Amino acid sequence: MEIWINPACSKCRSAISLLDAEGAEYTVRRYLEDVPSEAEIRAVLERLGLEPWDITRTREADAEELGLREWARDAGARDRWITALAEHPRLIQRPIITAEDGTALVARTDEAVTEAIARGKN
């Protein structure tokens, strides 16, 4: 299991604490320093079953500068969104946990973290 985090994020710190409390084995990826490529973002989106706009933090300063709220949210705009996430990783919702069963979750709640742990035990 891997968790994409920003150490400054309270939700990320909470997820890490819960993973530790449960004795889960995981790898930390500080995605602002180890920026995911477009291919990695596509792979995570596939695992999440989501579109790029679903994991985009549209209230970030970068989002405002890019005018993301005005961008189309359809198949034709998908690549543009993925490129924006790769070029501006602060826009990626966090934390994201890739579970052992091949799925992934945006783990902003304790329940989502617990679900990711359970997926690794199946």
Tell me the catalytic residues: 9
Alpha-carbon distance of 88 to 65, in angstroms, equals 11
The size of the chain, in residues, is: 122
**Following CA atoms 21, 9, 121, 104 in sequence, which dihedral angle do they give, to the nearest 10 degrees?**
180
100 backbone dihedrals φ, ψ, rounded to 5°: -65, -25
Alpha-carbon distance of 33 to 8, in angstroms, equals 13
